[in-house]
Amino acid sequence: MKNIITILTLSFITLACTINLHAQTPKAWTQFVQAKKHGKTPDLPDYSYAGYKYSLEPIPHVDYKIFDVTKFGAVPNDNKSDRDAVIKAIAAAKTNGSGVVYFPAGRFNLNELKGRKESIIIDASNIVLRGAGSTKNGTEIFMRHYMLEKEPGKMWTVPPLFKFTAPYHYGKKINVPVRGTKLAKITTDSPRESFTITVDDTSKLKPGMVIALNVSGKAPQSELIGDLPLRPIWSRIVNNGISVNEEHLIKSIHGNTITLAEPIHMNVFAEHNWSITSNPMIENCGVEDIHFVGNFKEKFKHHKNFIHDSGWKILDMNRVRNGWIVRNKLTDISAGFHFSGCLSSSMLLNTVAGNRGHSCFGMNWGYGNVIGLSQDITNDGTWHGPASSHEQVGAVIWRWHANKGAGPDFHAQYPHTSLIDTVYCSISSNGGSYVNQPNHLKYATYWNFKDNALASGQYDFWNLPQTKQQRKNNYFGNVKVAYPNMIGYQGNRSFNPKTMGIVELQNKRPFPESLFEAQLTLRNRGKLPKWIKQYKKAWEKLKKQHAN
């Protein structure tokens, strides 16, 4: 393996010199390669363990049995509700144990009733929603009316049109898995970016099981905040400290030592009382080749009401492993696609268009998910760009393009270890309630970031208010990210070195161009998986078709 890494290092240097004369290899990349070669902890996290099957395999075109919604009563283009037919088709696929719920070309109306609060639920593995294409003359799913809040007054409780979800419960005695049950306690320390943990008891654990590594409180806080000061109004972290929920797949068990399929992204100290809890998931679910159309036509105003924020919310995947959402288009929506509590899932080749809405694509409470090869072409730019929030770990936002802002959104409540890679957008568009700040903990990396904002001057990722007047503003200053790495930033800003991690190549292009692709190549014994080149080529065509 060491010989392979040595050869790869020389290959990267040669390519940087001969192919891309104006790009430079950052020291951080050289250190990463050498650390991997010698079994040391790299300064940069290994973000490559992300996406469907950790991005080593292409997203499949599954050959499950087809359940055509028109066979269950749906009629395209008749301007009548097709919701009941779609629910029947999903139920049939679930009974079968797998299935492609297929929508042929044409428009299908799925929310013709006002006042609805219930999603269309998919709660089984191996179910795929497939259309006949997300471009002209393809499949269109139309959502005429907005959904209502499940809890009046709480704008974030509006359900999506579709929801994939694992059928779990917290301690209820029914015939489904229980999530959050303590299975073991971690008994020895494990360094960041390692793959093994030692526990007190493995009797309730087995290879192939998805678990969560949990810790909370003020003891582990310094690992992800360092010595940065906190605002008193950040009440969640000030009163309770941080909480961490790293999802992992058990690869093997030997004695009391567990080997994980993915690296741990923070130092684990047994004295902080880490535990292992149950985390059941469904698997191999997908959404592909569909144009989802909402009916949000008003000029968007942030937090005006639940309609603007979430009324036309399209689709959530909750607790799905190896899921995918690919080659879709969203038009005139409030909120788009979301991974919640997902592991190794991919959201690729998607476009958000039409009227500006609240959010487009997001990830929270999961591990190793990717949003990539996607674009925002809405009229004014979506308010929040692709998001990593709420204890999300190992998120990758890769090759994102937004002409009118809509930068990556770190939406607070303890996400850590996120990669923003080869993007064209702005640094702004971050959100999250001030009580849940900061926006992001340590190990965020901006790599080859092309800033389309005109703003200049020094940007401080931890600029806290200094005056009484400034302290009146609960959202004073910029996004709050703990010691982010900024490598290959291209734009008009500089950065406060006191609150930064690694900073290299200001206004210079880095080589490798994409950190995600380079780390994946290194892990794959020097070969970039073929699907990436194929998807990049397909995206060049599809993004133009989505713009028409």
CATH number at residue 337: 2.160.20.10
Angle at 412 between CA 407 and CA 417, to 5 degrees: 75
Residue 52 inside a domain? The answer is no
> 246 with 300, same domain?
no
Q: Which amino acid is at 17?
A: C
Q: 479-511: b or e for each residue (b if 16 or more CB lie within 10 Å)?
A: bbbbbbbbbbbbbebbbeeebbbbbbbeebebb
Q: What is the DSSP letter of 399?
A: E
> 325 with 450, same domain?
yes
Residue 172 has pLDDT above 80, yes or no: no
> 363 with 471, same domain?
yes
pLDDT of residue 167: 85
pLDDT of residue 430: 83
> 186 with 151, same domain?
no
> 408 with 483, same domain?
yes
Which tokens belong to 111?
Answer: 């929310």
Lowest mean pLDDT of 3-12, 117-126, 226-235, 388-397, name the range. Answer: 3-12
Q: What is the mean pLDDT of residues 372-379?
A: 97
pLDDT of residue 17: 44
> 246 with 291, same domain?
no
Q: Which helix (H) or strand (E) holds 170?
A: none
> 203 with 295, same domain?
no
Distance of CA 171 to the CA centre of its chain: 28
Q: Give the residue numbers spanning the domain of 19.
A: 2-43
Helices 515-523, 2-18: crossing angle, 10 deg rounding: 150
> 374 with 499, same domain?
yes
End position of a domain, from candidates 256, 277, 298: 277
Residue 175 inside a domain? The answer is no
Residue 129 inside a domain? The answer is yes
pTM: 0.95
Residue 203 inside a domain? The answer is yes
State the Cα–Cα distance between residues 410 and 412, nearest whole angstrom: 6
How many helices and strands in the chain, by DSSP H and E? 9, 34
DSSP 3-state of 410 = strand
> 123 with 251, same domain?
no
Lowest mean pLDDT of 12-16, 25-29, 161-165, name the range. Answer: 12-16
Residue 430 inside a domain? The answer is yes
Residue 348 near residue 374, CB atoms below 8 Å: yes
Residue 189 inside a domain? The answer is yes
State the Cα–Cα distance between residues 247 and 365, nearest whole angstrom: 8
Counting Cβ atoms within 10 Å, is residue 24 exposed (0-12), middle (13-18) or buried (19+)? middle
Residue 393 inside a domain? The answer is yes
DSSP secondary structure string for all residues of 260-320:
ESS---S-B-GGG--EEEE---EE--EEES-EEE----SPP-TTS-HIIIIITEEEEEESE
Q: Residues of the chain with pLDDT > 90: what percent?
A: 90
**pLDDT grade, residue 403 (50/70/90)?**
confident
End position of a domain, from candidates 216, 251, 277: 277
The phi, psi pair for 331, rounded to 5°, reads -135, 135
List pLDDT tens digits, range 305-319. 999 999 999 999 999
> 150 with 258, same domain?
no
Which tokens belong to 440?
Answer: 């992001």
Query: If we measure between CA atoms, which residue out of 385, 496, 401 comes closest to residue 451?
Result: 401
What is the count of structural domains for the chain? 3
DSSP 3-state of 252 = strand
Helices 2-18, 27-38: crossing angle, 10 deg rounding: 160
Distance of CA 360 to the CA centre of its chain: 11
> 146 with 290, same domain?
yes
**pLDDT grade, residue 19 (50/70/90)?**
very low
Cβ neighbors of 530 (< 8 A, separation 6 or more) are 58
| Residue found under tokens 């303890």 | 414
Q: What is the mean pLDDT of residues 261-266?
A: 98
> 11 with 25, same domain?
yes
Rg for the chain, CA atoms, rounded: 23
End position of a domain, from candidates 235, 252, 277: 277
Residue 33 inside a domain? The answer is yes
